[in-house]
Structure 1
Amino acid sequence: MLNSDKLFYNFYSQQLAQEQVEKIIESQQKWGWVGYFVIPLMVLIRTSLVAICLSIGMFFYNMEHPFKFKQFFRIAIIGEFVLVLVGYFKLGYFYFIKTDYTLQDLQQYYPLSYINFLDLEKIQPWLAYPLQTINLFEIAYFFVLVYGLWKLLKNNYTKSLEIVAISYGSGLLIWLGLVMFLTLNMS
């Protein structure tokens, strides 16, 4: 819905020749269908990793849990609906509010995130992703996981909060460390 061809042209026209920019846009249009397979695959992988974290957390809290992986996967997939809202908020922001934007604006903006309060010019590239992760959607996702685990375990809410904080929180910290490490090595 957003005019990405114009954004790519404006961004790359300062760095590349017009023919090269047109080749990039043409290549993106040619291979755009790949996103229809990659995005669901990425959601499946992310959901599976969260379910693994919850399962490991349960293993360490209760050695004899009768729960199956698909129950943790169901909790994680329900939580993914919170993260889908991020895309809708971002689309609405650039479609209705900030209609004059660049490709860099589109890449760096994350709705309801801490990074929006900071000057992006002064932030090191390796800190961008962790600062984007501090957002209200991530907090809502966390509490959806807590609620789902609470309903599954039928126990007190505090224990579910503790299990999710330790299991999912550890997994998130490992993921953030990996992304920061890769960002530092790529730049």
Structure 2
Amino acid sequence: MAILLIRVSLVSLCLFVGGLFNERQQKIRYADSWNIALKSDIVLILFSVAVCTAAVVAGPDAATEFSHHSSFAFLVDSNITDQWLLVPIAALNIFEVGYWFFMAKLVAVQTGDGYWSSFKFVLSTYGVGYLFYIVFLMFLLLYLTN
């Protein structure tokens, strides 16, 4: 529960700060960005439910395979690829992209702007924050393995 609150808080902070710098999206208050982030998290909760269901029904190996095949990680052999390279590859999965599209739809509804301008807004705010998070994880993994 605490991780969910931290995640929603950080995503809403990204949207709110991005709205301060974007003239077209200045209609977004922090409460609005919190609402958007909270509603968008349903996509990632559905991913967690799907992984847990696969683990209960078919076993933990099936859950790992489901998680592996829903991202770009299935394109590389994890046995020969460095672990720090797997972080950005596995970070781009179908549910994360769905999260971006769903969040863009919620931003478009909130602000009344077009969908694609809202999608650009989501990529320039949350996408940058997500990129920093991935780079931080890569740095941490490199630091801890050496």
Pick the TM interval, shorter chain: 0.7 to 0.9
Q: Which residue of 2 aligns with 1:141?
A: 99
Relative to 1, partners in 2 of residues 1:109 and 1:88: Cα closer, same or farther, differing over 3 Å? Answer: same
Unaligned 5+ segments in structure 1 are 1-39
Compute the displacement of 1:62 (Å): 1.7
Look at both structures and tell me which one has the larger radius of gyration over its CA atoms.
1
Output aligned runs, 1:45-60, within 5 Å: 45-60=6-21
Match of 1:115 among 42, 53, 73: 73
> Shift of residue 118 of structure 1?
2.5
TM-score, length basis structure 1: 0.69
Structure 1 equivalent of residue 82 of structure 2: 124
The answer on whether the counterparts of 1:142 and 1:164 sit within 8 Å (CA) in structure 2 is yes
Deviation at 1:109, TM superposition (A): 4.0
Deviation at 1:63, TM superposition (A): 8.1
SS of the counterpart of 1:101?
helix
Q: How many positions carry a matched residue from both structures?
A: 145
What is aligned with 1:73? 34
Provide the residue aligned with 2:133 in structure 1.
Answer: 175
CA contact (8 A) 2:19 2:27 kept: no
TM-fit CA distance, 1:169? 1.0
Normalised to the residue count of structure 2, the TM-score between the two structures is 0.87
RMSD: 2.5
The equivalent of 2:43 in structure 1 is 82
Could you say what secondary structure the match of 1:122 adopts?
coil
